[in-house]
Amino acid sequence: MYFYSSKVKEIDGEITPAKPLTNLWTDIPYNGIAREGGVEFKNGKKPERLIERCIDLCTQKGDLVLDSFAGSGTTGAVAHKMGRRWIMVELGEHCHTHIVPRLQKVIDGQDPGGVTQVTGWQGGGGFRYYELAPTLLATDRWGNLVINPEYDAGMLSAAMCKLEGFAYAPSEALWWQHGHSSERDFIYVTTQTLGAEQLDALADELGPERSLLVCCGAYRGVTAAQAAQRWQQLTIKKIPKMVKDRCEWGHDDYSLNVANLPMAAKWPIEPAQDDLFGGDAA
């Protein structure tokens, strides 16, 4: 004897005779998906119904969905329509040509295909889009690590503040104040090679009540021990070395140590109206 109630499930709002899924799915066709989402992605596109099933099996509304190989953006589009937050990462140029335009259509309510009808999606939300900066260090013709010339002064200061946990806040009045970690602790970033005379001037202007992290291309005339004793309110570091010490080189997999990287601020529990169900595409 079987009870019929055990053989039905609510699917897309309707009570439907169903049985548990196995790991072999043959009921979701691939035909007709070429223009799904308004973008083409030959030999690499997944049906929105397939991604919807995967997301539905293992997440709930408000959960965070990660796609490290975003492709044409199907995962983000479906997650957005299903009320999930999402993060997508993509290396290719189709980040600009496929993913961003597709997600914008979802947000604007101009994507009628895929799972739009079954999810009741009508538009809304938003996303933040970041582009990865070039490598901070480059190798010169002698094999030495040097600061990448693609970085101008502002980019370098912002990057070093991020790495060292300082808020990037250049002062218009104090040339050496590029950021701060407290009311008395500051950071100064320069590509120059600093000598004892310049460091003396910095220490005098800083005064004994404040501290300063000096990130420079190099320093000369003193050893690290002598510098620490002579300028007690200054901490002097060479940029190439301090960046290299924070990085892991030669990896071609996901085994990087990221435990000491600065953490982003937590998202608010109740998202703003213009960022409902928002995610990040990088």
Report pLDDT digits (tens) over 65-113: 999 999 999 999 999 999 999 999 998 888 899 999 999 999 999 999 9
Report pLDDT digits (tens) over 236-269: 999 988 888 776 666 666 565 655 545 545 545 4
Residue 282's pLDDT band, with cuts at 50, 70 and 90, is very low
SS (H, E, C) the chain: CCCHHHHEEEECCEEEECCCCCCCCCCCCCCCCCCHHHCCCCCCCCCHHHHHHHHHHHCCCCCEEEECCCCCCHHHHHHHHCCCEEEECCCCCHHHHHHHHHHHHHHHCCCCCCCHHHHCCCCCCCEEECCCCCCCEEECCCCCEEECCCCCHHHHHHHHHHHHCCEECCCCCCCCCCEECCCCEEEEECCCEECHHHHHHHHHHHCCCCEEEEEECEECCCCHHHHHHHCCCEEEEEHHHHHHHHCCCCCCCCCCCCCCCCCCCCCCCCCCHHHCCCEEEC
pTM given for the model: 0.64
Report pLDDT digits (tens) over 218-235: 888 888 788 888 999 999
pLDDT at 254: 58
Q: Name 160's Cβ contacts closer than 8 Å, sequence gap at least 6.
A: 166, 178, 187, 189, 215, 239
Q: Name 192's Cβ contacts closer than 8 Å, sequence gap at least 6.
A: 198, 216, 217
CA distance 172 to 156: 17
Report pLDDT digits (tens) over 28-79: 888 888 888 888 888 788 999 999 999 999 999 999 999 999 999 999 999 9
| 182 residue type, one letter | S
Domains of the chain: 4-124 (no CATH), 137-246 (3.40.1350)
Burial 115-129 (b: 16+ CB within 10 A, else e): bbebbebeebbbbee
In this structure, what token pair is assigned to residue 2?
A: 């079987």
pLDDT at 26: 82
